[in-house]
Amino acid sequence: MIVNTELEQKGNMFPSKFVSFKKDVDTLYFSTDNNVVLQLTVFRDSVLRFRYTTTGTFDNDFSYAITKYASKGYNHLEIIENEEEYHIITSKLLCKIAKEDLRIRIYDVKDNTLINEDEIGFHWEESYEYGGNIVKMSKTINDRESYFGLGDKPEHLNLKGKRFENWVTDSYAFGKQTDPIYKAIPFFTGLHHNKAYGIFFDNTFRTYFDFGQERRNVTSFWAQGGEMNYYFIYGPKMNDVVENYTDLTGKPHQLPPLWALGFHQCKWSYYPEANVKEITNKFRELQIPCDAIYLDIDYMDGFRCFTWNKDYFPDPKRMVKELLDDGFKTVAIIDPGIKIDHEYSVFKEALEKDYFCKRADGPYMKGKVWPGECYFPDFTKPEVRDWWSGLFKELVEDIGVQGVWNDMNEPAVMEVPNKTFPDDVRHDYDGNRCSHRKAHNIYGMQMARATYHGMKKFNYPKRPFVITRAAYSGTQRYTSTWTGDNVATWEHLSIANIQAQRMAMSGFSFAGSDIGGFAEQPQGELYTRWIQLGVFHPFCRVHSSGDHGDQEPWAFDDDVTDIVRKFIELRYQLLPYLYTAFWKLIEHGTPLLQSLVLFDQEDQQTHYRTDEFVYGNQILVCPIQEPNAKGRRMYIPRGSWYNFWTDEYVEGGKEKWVDAEIDSMPMFIKEGAIIPKFPVQQYVGEIEIEELALEVYYKLGKEVSELYDDAHDGYDYTKGRYSFRTFKLTGKANELIIQQHKEGKYEASYKTFKLNIHGLPFEIKEIQIDNEIISLEHLKVNGTVSMVIDKKFSEIHLIGN
């Protein structure tokens, strides 16, 4: 007879005394008396992986986040044992492991600064309800430490003093304190003593991060299941941390087609065909550049994915072609919920092939979304992903749709309290069968991945374009993203600003917000200010629910239309600059936006700034986030800058009032920069570019700028058909030298550069191009000095008196 039926709550448990050590090439094992094993892998000199088990053995090592292309390998590895500790030494780090309790301390090997230290370190609690453990880690907060990252959190950029949860959630009209929302990116950067490190906690269960909220001196992170499995990434530069994290979890697999960096117009929903055409025609009539038009759920037949409502769109192929002839790429939405309808081929096939998710006890996972009751494909099964990819044949290859928009893939379920699947739903998880508790956070990512592969295959030889709402770390390899259902308020404009910056420092740069706000309707002024910000976001799309009126650039008044046109034109002019930044993202993982702390972490002033950011690496912008503003105070980071609008030269390292009437926004160019500009086009490829402008900003000293170019679509660039130009500027008191170096086989259509030189402190007496003296006749001087030169120059000298 059992007499004691009370649950024995063991509470927190800890590793006990160290008993043995084993080394297997780059992986070290430290075992304790109570079956805890710490598996430490030296990934790179600056990247260490820590993985713990409490049972003596590890589960199958599988991650959706880590890319197979991640760089591995180190220059140096040395292991020293003494009475109390093990010392693991690489060329960048010294990691000390205490034999007493396996606590970790990590130092910069060069100057012995303590970078990161376990407080309690690894500990756990048994999960009585589900089995396994609630795994926990705690770290000591350093003096004046700041925290950044975590994806799409709509909070202050610096996460210090706050607690967060990662559980991908459909969050209509979220607010500044809403947590969690659409994405789970369990990666943060810590910064103290001018040294930055990152921690990526690769655990897909519901995870939590506390940055000194519960206890002032402790940062902790824990998960409701799975393993304590994290990567420690050392900088010391924050930019290196972000690049290394991006290397681990993946850079976008290819450049986007250039048109995807243009302006996109969306609404829920444009239909029928006549309405779509009315919108696209109006863009051309008003000469407002635009490259993409979106079809939201109403294009489908009863919201059945991969079907068309033939009353609204009688001949989609013809329409898509006509739109394309006018420069518009059509992007269509595809949601995960498949309508339960035994006459519907997609449903029938998935049912027959057993592709839908099931509950623990056998029934299908049934949930309501737009089409009514649905079943949901298990995108965590490779065979299901292949099938899903194949479904895009008609939409992409036959009809010609050029982009796919994945939505509701948290997965969102309507009219249930938790807004998603129940925990007991079963998933394949690529052969590692599990419940929804583990698969939830990656469900949307796997859907986007399957979509991406379909898009890529059927759009070949053109590049794919996919956008997703839900994401986990690594999703940036496949798609772009937006920040979900925001609201047309000034506060949301500032949230959008923070989210785009935070996504960029979380390895997912290709992101933007619903410009103007999804829910409710903005006033013309808010819309204008949001466009001004949005043209500096890597993904630039106006979208709205359509319930509260129109949000096209002409929906307000003529002044708004004119200002909006001016800023969208600016985006198109700066496309070569953005494209170059994108190239650096896919090559090195360099974020497309830099918050000021990323730009200059040494300057303490930047650690708590949120509004200003650097677009690429040489353009500083700061949106106006209040009504009736005629300008604003902003922090200009250290260094010297030119006001983009007036060419006024300003010294950074201080706050400054900057004028910005409604038709302007604070924008500065780093001195010494050479900014490439295209002429205005109504869409990418509208005109053959005959001349590329180079805006040269004089500096007393040196600065390097870059220009990447290729065919703007297709894969030839991967075979060397690209051009990458480096411009080295050297400014002296009476001389300006620009040296050009080109690599790659691509020849752009333009033959010449038009140099516009800003801030030149001397009058030009002589020009030499590649050692030849050029007549001054070609020189135009009215404010800025301009001249047209052959794009093949290697060195140009402007000499003054």
| Tokens coding 251 | 């850079």
State the Cα–Cα distance between residues 525 and 515, nearest whole angstrom. Answer: 13
Nearer to ligand GLC, 244 or 406 (CB): 406
CB 271 within 8 A of CB 298: yes
Least distance between ligand GLC and beta carbon 370 (Å): 7
CA dist 68 → 252, 253, 694, 774 (Å)? 13, 12, 39, 53
485 counts as binding ligand GLC under rule CB under 6 A = yes
Catalytic residue from among 118, 410, 703, 709: 410
Q: Considering beta carbons, is residue 272 or 800 the nearer one to ligand GLC?
A: 272
Is there binding between residue 410 and ligand GLC (CB under 6 A)? Answer: no
Parallel, antiparallel or unpaired: strands 667-670 and 18-24:
unpaired
Q: Which is nearer to ligand GLC, 188 or 518 (CB)?
A: 518
Closest CA to 694 of 566, 544, 526, 577: 577
Site track for ligand GLC across 322-361, x = CB under 6 A: -----------x----------------------------
Contact status: 102 vs ligand GLC (CB under 6 A): no
- Set 485, 703, 706, 713: catalytic member: 485
Both structure tokens of 42: 């030296």
Supply the minimum distance, in Å, between the C-beta of residue 236 and ligand GLC. Answer: 39
Considering only residues 535 to 564 of the shown chain, the ones binding ligand GLC according to CB under 6 A are 543
Query: Closest approach of Cβ 482 to ligand GLC, in Å?
Result: 8
Q: What is the DSSP annotation of 436-486?
A: HHHHHHHHHHHHHHHHHHHHHHHHTTSPP-EEES-EETTGGGT-EEE--S-
Contact flag: residue 484 with ligand GLC (CB under 6 A)? yes
Q: Which of residues 263-282 bind ligand GLC (CB under 6 A)?
A: 268
Closest separation in Å from C-beta 443 to ligand GLC: 16
Q: Are strands 471-472 and 183-184 parallel, antiparallel or unpaired?
A: parallel
Residue type, 15: P
Q: Which is nearer to ligand GLC, 372 or 431 (CB)?
A: 372
State which residue, 481 or 590, has the beta carbon closest to ligand GLC: 481
- Give the chain's end-to-end CA distance (angstroms, integer): 105
Rounded Cα distance between 505 and 11, Å, is 36
Question: In angstroms, what is the minimal distance from the CB of 335 to ligand GLC?
Answer: 7
What does the per-residue mask of binding to ligand GLC show for 656-675, with x meaning CB under 6 A?
A: --------------------
Min separation Cβ 272 and ligand GLC, Å: 17
565/567 Cα distance (integer angstroms): 5
Q: Using CB under 6 A, which residues numbered 217 to 246 contact ligand GLC?
A: none
Ordered alpha helix ranges (H), 482-574: 490-504, 524-534, 558-573
Using an 8 Å Cβ cutoff, are 698 and 715 in contact? Answer: no
Cβ(357)–Cβ(425) below 8 Å:
yes
Output the smallest distance, CB 565 to ligand GLC, in A: 25
182 versus 724: smaller Cβ distance to ligand GLC: 182
Tell me, by CB under 6 A, how many residues bind ligand GLC.
9
DSSP string for 126-161: E-TTTSSEEEEEEEEPPTT-EEEE-TT--S-SS-TT
- When asked if residue 695 is in the footprint of ligand GLC (CB under 6 A), the reply is no
Least Å from the CB of residue 292 to ligand GLC: 14
* Cis, peptide link before residue 417, omega less than 30° from 0: no
Give residues with Cβ within 8 angstroms of 512, minimum separation 6: 480, 482, 483, 496, 500, 534, 537, 538, 539, 540, 541
- Token pair in block for residue 674: 């050479």
Q: Which residue lies nearer to ligand GLC by CB, 159 or 279?
A: 279
Residue 414, judged by CB atoms within 10 A of its CB (0-12, 13-18, 19+), counts as middle
Instruction: List Cα–Cα distances, 147 to 295, 476, 504, in angstroms.
Output: 39, 22, 15
Give residue number: closest CB to ligand GLC: 268
User: Is 485 marked active-site?
Assistant: yes
296 near ligand GLC, judged by CB under 6 A: yes
Q: Given 3-state DSSP classes, what are the helix, strand and coil percentages for the chain, each rounded to the nearest 5?
A: 20, 35, 45
Nearest-approach distance from CB 407 to ligand GLC, in angstroms:
5
Residue 436, both tokens: 């929804």
Look at residue 303 and give its three-state secondary structure: coil
Closest approach, Cβ 179 to ligand GLC, in A, equals 18
Residue 335 falls in the annotated catalytic set:
no
Cα 622 to Cα 95: distance, rounded to the nearest angstrom:
40
| Residues numbered 511-530 forming contacts with ligand GLC, rule: CB under 6 A | none
Alpha helices in 645-707 (DSSP H): none
Nearer to ligand GLC, 332 or 526 (CB): 332
CB of 170 to ligand GLC, least distance (A): 8
Residue 297 interacting with ligand GLC (CB under 6 A)? yes
**What whole-number distance in Å separates Cα of residue 473 and Cα of residue 231?**
13
Measured distance CA(580)–CA(560) in Å, rounded: 30
Q: Of 295 and 505, which CB lies nearer to ligand GLC in the complex structure?
A: 295
Residue with tokens 């994108």: 582
Kindly write down the DSSP assignment for every residue of 554-622, as one continuous string: TSS-HHHHHHHHHHHHHHHHTHHHHHHHHHHHHHH---SEEEHHHH-TTSGGGGG--S-EEETTTEEE-
Q: What mask of x and - would describe binding to ligand GLC in positions 192 to 211, judged by CB under 6 A?
A: --------------------
Q: Is 407 a catalytic residue?
A: yes
Give min distance, CB of 668 to ligand GLC, in A. 33
Told to check if 444 binds ligand GLC by CB under 6 A, we report: no
- Provide the token pair at 16: 């006990």
Read off φ and ψ for residue 769, nearest 5 degrees: -120, 125
- Judged by CB under 6 A, the chain residues 716 through 775 that form the site for ligand GLC are none
Point out the catalytic residue in the list 247, 407, 695, 706: 407
- In the shown chain, the binding pattern of residues 378 to 407 toward ligand GLC, with x for contact by CB under 6 A and - for none, equals -----------------------------x
Closest CB to ligand GLC among 231 and 539? 539
Q: By C-beta, is 514 or 612 nearer to ligand GLC?
A: 514
Which CB atom, from 88 or from 395, has the smaller least distance to ligand GLC? 395
Interface with ligand GLC (CB under 6 A): 268, 296-297, 333, 407, 469, 484-485, 543
> Which residues participate in catalysis according to the annotation?
407, 410, 485
